[in-house]
Structure 1
Amino acid sequence: MTIKVIISGPRGRMGREALDMIINDKDLELVACIDRMNDGKRLSDVEGMPNVNVPIFVEPNQCFQSVSADIFLELSIPEVGFDHTKLALMSKIKSVVGTSGFTSEQIDLLTNIANENKVGCIIAPNFAIGAVLMMQFAKKAATYFSDVEIIEKHHDQKLDAPSGTAVKTAKMIQESRQAKRQGHPNEKETMDGARGADTEGIRIHSVRLPGLVAHQEVILGGLGQTLTITHDSYNRKSFMTGIKYALGKVMQLEKLVYGMENVMD
């Protein structure tokens, strides 16, 4: 069966890569796009876009009501991504969400909507399979190394800091360790922010530079040793295998799942 997909954010870096993946996959069919520009046009009419004759909508509700689709793929920005996903789930369209920056309250609300309507949804801070494994390894390691710092590095156009991947990693680690203060008990910052963000004692440091894509180190320290778990995405093709996997998995769900690690066999 061919899976019919609506994509939001087709002009973004991730969206453009996802378009190519969907168009060239025999099991997937692109049926519409949601974009803040080009309302009423066809994708093939937009300069630089693939030559595919599918409609573009500005209003997501109009799109969901007029286009028959199996899955909504959200790859835009947090400011609109949450509302898009909420409307899709209320329209009983299964959803895969790669937009990061949703609050815990927003995720809880989407969870309730998805579960009440028995509509599958996967929200993934990171679709790179290696990044998901990195988070799982970090959670396991934190059972034995309770002192942890996270350094995440992304391109300078990323909107949220820390990244969704870093936040998710910290939450997974918190399941394996007790909250604690790290560093010297009388530690003082001589420059605000020098020690990074603090979540239950885990320090998260965000780097934003041109030339980067998506990179993260989890550094764990113990007596006489350190353990560093690293993942690097050098281009956005690294996320496409995970997106394809999520599109297949969400078809089997009737609830919201947060994190790719919860749907990987």
Structure 2
Amino acid sequence: MSKASAPLRVGIAGIAGRLGRIAADAVLEAEGLELVGGLVSERTPLDNATFVRTLDDLLARAPIDVLLDVATQPGSERWTRDAVARGIPVVSGSSGWSEATLDEIGGVAEKGRVPALFVPNFAIGAVVMMRVAAEIARTFPRAEIVEMHHDTKNDAPSGTAKVTAKRMEAAGAAPVIIHSVRLPGLVAHQEIIFGSRGEVLTIRHDSLSRESFADGIVAALRGVRRLPPGLHVGLELVL
């Protein structure tokens, strides 16, 4: 294979998780992407030939062009820091990051001349929802968010809800209250309710299965290396 047509080599942190398995299938099915292997925590048996514990072990298989992080904490933070410090572009869809840690990793990425893309939600419909919410907030400044996720999601409120609220407030909304629901049977859902004198406007996005994230994952992997060095937030930057 010529250098011009060489595949984009991808490593996946958190490959054994539910989103990690969706991501692995998406990479394997996508044209021009190659799955090198995946990072798993000490709790996960090394019962798959592609599973390794450390970035050193992953790079011993082959160099990678991008690390996709869909791991839980603290592995997510550890592997992302390690990759950025080595000059490997990162796409992270993990949650539970503090603003201070994101700023720190952004500084390391900028200094190392490498892009790091944090994606609150890989569903393309969710990206549209966040953009529309910020636009509506210019006219309807009073709003609240109800975000609903599966009962195994550890953090609340969700990263999607926090970014949505931040963008709405930047557009002129009053401080946005976020309500979180964690129940079995849910996947990922968000409703934004805008209120004004005598009327209510509601927008909502539902991910009915994790397969809704596959196209966004592929787009992020293909697009992250076109971004300038430093920290970036939002799937829309590569769509």
Task: Give the Å deviation of 1:38.
Answer: 8.4
Share of identical aligned residues, percent? 40
Which of 58, 67, 72 is 2:53 aligned to?
A: 58
In 2, Cα distance between the equivalents of 1:108 and 1:155?
28
1:70-98: CA deviation from partner (whole Å, max 9, x where unpaired): 00010111322112111101111111101
In 1, Cα distance between the equivalents of 2:96 and 2:115?
20
Query: What residue number does 1:251 align with?
Result: 225
Structure 1 residues without counterparts, runs of 5 or longer: 47-52, 180-199
Give the TM-score normalised by the residue count of structure 1: 0.83
1:96-245, aligned counterparts within 5 Å? 96-177=91-172, 179=174, 200=175, 202-245=176-219
**RMSD between superposed Cα atoms in Å:** 1.8
Give the TM-score normalised by the residue count of structure 2: 0.92
In 2, Cα distance between the equivalents of 1:102 and 1:250?
19
Instruction: Verify: 1:5 aligned to 2:7, yes or no.
Output: no
Structure 2 residues without counterparts, runs of 5 or longer: 1-5
Whichever residue aligns with residue 206 of structure 1, its letter is S
Distance of aligned partners of 1:118 and 1:40 in 2 relative to their CA distance in 1, 3 Å threshold:
farther
Instruction: Verify: 1:36 aligned to 2:10, yes or no.
Output: no
Which of 15, 18, 22 is 1:17 aligned to?
A: 22
In 1, Cα distance between the equivalents of 2:81 and 2:172?
33
In 2, Cα distance between the equivalents of 1:39 and 1:147?
45
In 2, Cα distance between the equivalents of 1:40 and 1:68?
24
Higher Cα Rg: structure 1 or 2? 1
Task: Give the Å deviation of 1:26.
Answer: 2.8
Task: Give the Å deviation of 1:66.
Answer: 5.9
Q: 2:74 aligns to what SS in structure 1?
A: helix
In 2, Cα distance between the equivalents of 1:137 and 1:40?
43
